[in-house]
Structure 1
Amino acid sequence: MINACLLNDDDTLKLVSVAAGSTLPTNTIWLDVNQPDDEERQWLEKLLIEDVPDEDEMDDIESSSRFRVGPDGVHILSLFPQRLANDTRGVNMSFTMRKNLLLSFREDDVSIVRLLRYYIRHGKANIRSALDILLSLQDLKVDQLSDMIEDAYSTLDETADTIIEEGHVEENLEELVRQEELNGQILQALYDSRRALRFIKKTFESSLDDRQNRNIDEMLNDIESILPHTQFLANKINFQLEATMGYTNHKQNKIIKIFSVAAVVFMPPTWIASLYGMNFKFMPELDWRFGYPLSICMMILSAGATYLFFRKKGWL
């Protein structure tokens, strides 16, 4: 699927669908390509000097692969968070900037792209060039990462209230593991955005106007202010994980303690029963009329004395 954003003479924006093989409008400033088929790839390769990037190429992590200037223009690989129900994963988007045309490639849906297209349709986007499209996507990403951190704080507040409640331990562990993964993805996306913005500012230094420079500086400042929150969230998640595991171990230790005390309490009666269960010939108590009641009393008294001893020591 290929969608184009057109910048009209009156500075208004228009979104249109583009079919493979058609003529690209001259006032196109953004060509968004989502999961292109073979026919669309062949058509796009005629517009580009370099090949259309595939999914494996968009997963590279080296700086030389993610940020470079090639014969076809400026190439940027940027990571965007994508929420799916309770899970979040990163989707890499490939950008190619050539003159006043931005080409974006992705192999999956990205909610930030849909949000920007919504703003464009309703005239809420302050876009005057292809570079503004790229900066707007980065700006929306930083805002989304900030919202995700706020949601993480709310979730951790809820799990903190139920750490020692019965029936919530397993649920809390699953949620904390999910939050740990989410925090790592947020941190990775923030680092990626910072690298991308610094590369954009350095590469397009001569063509950036004051408004764009201010926008980039504000995004970089926002990223620097958000980064400490990821460390705080990591510490909070680890604390709650340790508290949950500590509470679980405490409950298990109490159960083991009960069995251990029960074994010690019944040890003297077991010894007495074992003693009189021996089949020796000369055991006077075996023929004694009161031998059986006496052995029963000895078992009860020995168990009771052991129990009282444990209570006095504070072990129970």
Structure 2
Amino acid sequence: MGEKWQKEGMLYSYKKNARELNKEGGVDPEAIWFDLIRPKPDEAHQVEEALNLSLPSYQEMEEIEASSRLYREEGSLFMTVVLIAKADSENPFLSPVTFLVANKYLVTVRYADPRSFRIVERKIERGVESFATGEAVLVGILEAIVDRLADILEKIGREVDEVSKDIFQTPTLKKGKSKRLDELLTTIGKKGDLTAKAKESLVSLGRLFIFLTHQIQGIKEKKALVVKVKTLQRDVSSLTDHCAFLLNKINFLLDATLGFINIEQNGIIKIFSVAAVIFLPPTVIASIYGMNFIDMPELHWAFGYPFALVLMVASALLPYFYFKQKGWL
């Protein structure tokens, strides 16, 4: 969203009303989902007082140790993952998101606006999804996150295929109708960076699903939740494998592009090298006849000047035709 969204904190409560969820500002003790977006200290304190818990700070959410991202405290589950924000822009970035599950409610703390959250919000507004508990909201958000990552990887795959066509369609490159190699190199770098971010996000999700499954495994009331979580875990595993495939393909295209750049540079250097060899014999001949010695037979010969010119041209053409015959030109 805009700069205003980035500077201002927001706190929303989603309260169950009949078959739908109602979105309200502030803290409602009867809500099942509390969504904190760049929370101000007073907003975080309101939630902590209402729910009797302690929310992690942004610095704590950025910790990379598994023990700091996934833990159980006084019966509540704290799970932090990194998600891609602004994936369709020129500057995508990763941002931590914390899910706090306790009793029947869910608390999310985030400092960016991933599209997966907006998708869930739109479903709630249209009444497409009906969530009875915070755990159900959690599963809905996680499903949207996995679907969004799959869409990102599918788009990257299509764009990488287009880059591959631009690189390996040699006649097109010779005609100069495709992108320049340096532009292709920049495109490949951006796709590689976004794919690496997607993989990091998938790895954090995979750890979350393993932790969540371990925490709820064996609880009879959560059998349906375990099934959904395991399904999502398999999806994340397959997406991680596909992500690794894309990274390998991107690295291959990167090497191929650098190879074409080297070939192009070698061709330029070869032209200068051949030119130097071709003009070397005429230079030697001109240097010889430029010496002012008295006893030079051709110096007083009437045909000395044209003879020297013909000799220089012949000495230049001989290397040229030799290189041509060898296929070096």
CA distance in 1, matches of 2:75, 2:223: 27
- The Cα of 1:80 is off from its aligned counterpart by 1.6
**Could you tell me which of 37, 40, 58 is aligned with 2:43?**
40
Of 12, 17, 22 in structure 2, the residue corresponding to residue 14 of structure 1 is: 22
Alignment partner, residue 148 of structure 2: 144
Gaps of 5+ in 1: 19-23
Matched, 1:231 2:247: no
The 2-side partners of 1:72 and 1:44 are apart by: 17
- Pick the aligned partner of 2:13 from 4, 18, 23: 4
Q: Which of residues 29, 33, 53 in structure 2 aligns to 1:30?
A: 33
Deviates more, 1:149-158 or 1:280-289: 280-289
- Residues 137 and 223 of structure 1: CA distance in aligned 2, closer, same or farther (over 3 Å): same
Partner of 1:160: 164
TM-score (ref. length: structure 2)? 0.88
Counterpart for residue 96 of structure 2: 92
Alignment of 1:72-221 (within 5 A): 73-82=76-85, 83-163=87-167, 164=170, 165=173, 166=176, 167-205=179-217, 206=219, 208-221=221-234
Distance 2:161 2:258 in 1: 17
Alignment check: 8 A CA contact 2:32 2:104 kept? yes
Change (3 A) 1:48 1:277: farther
Pairs aligned (count): 310
SS at match of 1:162: helix
Partners of 1:28 and 1:101 within 8 A in 2: yes
Higher helix share: 2
CA contact (8 A) 2:70 2:208 kept: yes
What is the deviation of 1:57?
1.4
Q: Offset at 1:2? A: 0.4
Instruction: Indicate the SS of the match to 1:61.
Output: coil
Q: How high is the TM-score relative to the length of structure 1? A: 0.91
Does the CA-based 8 Å contact 1:50-1:72 persist in structure 2? no
2:69 counterpart of 1:56:
no
Q: State the percentage of identical aligned residues.
A: 31
Tell me if the contact between 1:190 and 1:227 (Cα under 8 Å) persists in the aligned partners: yes
Return the letter of the residue paired with 2:142: Q
Q: Residues of 2 paired with 1:119 and 1:64: CA distance?
A: 33
In structure 2, how many angstroms separate the alpha carbons of the residues matched to 1:199 and 1:312?
69
How far apart are 1:72 and its partner, in Å?
7.0
Q: Which runs of 4+ in 1 moved over 4 A?
A: 48-51
Query: Partner letter of residue 128 of structure 1?
Result: A
Partner SS for 2:58: coil
> C-alpha distance in 2, partners of 1:39/1:198?
33
1:280: Cα distance to partner?
3.1
Q: Pairwise CA RMSD of aligned residues? A: 1.9
Query: How far off its partner does 1:73 sit?
Result: 2.1
Secondary structure, counterpart of 1:279 in structure 2: coil
Q: Please identify, of 198-207 and 38-47, the stretch whose mean Cα deviation from structure 2 is larger.
A: 38-47
Matching residue of 1:275: 288
**Equivalent residue number for residue 7 of structure 2:** none
Query: In the alignment, residue 128 of structure 2 is paired with which amino acid?
Result: K
Instruction: Give 1:51 shift.
Output: 4.2
Distance 2:216 2:100 in 1: 13
For 1:21, the equivalent position in structure 2 comes to none
Instruction: Extract unaligned runs of 5+ from structure 2.
Output: 1-9
